[in-house]
Amino acid sequence: MSSKIAVFPGSFDPITIGHESVIRRALPLFDELVIAIGINSTKNYFFPIEKRKEWIAKTFAGEKKVRIETYEGLTIDFCKKIKANYILRGLRTSADFEFERGIAQMNRAMASETETVFILSLPEYSAISSTIIRDIIRNKGNASAFVPRGVDLK
């Protein structure tokens, strides 16, 4: 049987305890989980790619099933390239659901061999987003409670 490889795509700008939780809960389902940092040249990121990658690596240090990659272009093309048959996404709210449904259905239409798997956020993490964390930091607040242990946002 071929191994089950999942891609968890995102910007991780920065990684949050919400991302971490979804990834940890998904690990038993897959043989390998590739955290894929999407790079879109038209998008301005808050944290440099090296920092975002370093924080993810620190969070999952010693986790044998986790691999970190960066990619440009369509997520399904990246999945094909690394032979991943699953895309993992987290759902916080009905807004996430509506957004994710469109992407997953379009991805499925383009690549029927790739299945999107959703994990519902734990209730205590459903308000946590990288966007709000960036806003806290921009305004000189302390966001350390919302990012994985060991992530030093400075």
User: Which positions touch ligand ADP (CB under 6 A)?
Assistant: 10-12, 16, 18-19, 22, 89-90, 92, 96, 121, 125, 128-130
Contact, 14 vs 151, CB < 8 A? yes
Task: Pick between residue 2 and residue 147 the one whose CB is nearest to ligand ADP.
Answer: 147
Per-residue CA distances from 8 to 63, 95, 101, 129 (Å): 15, 19, 16, 16
Residue 44 neighbours by CB under 8 Å, 6+ apart: none
Least CB distance to ligand ADP at residue 106 (A): 14
Q: Which residues pair with 38 in a beta bridge?
A: 71
Catalytic residue (one of 19, 52, 53, 89): 19
Question: Distance between CA 51 and CA 73 in Å, rounded?
Answer: 21
Least CB distance to ligand ADP at residue 131 (A): 7
| Active-site residue, 19 included | yes
Least CB distance to ligand ADP at residue 105 (A): 15
Active site members: 19, 43, 92, 130
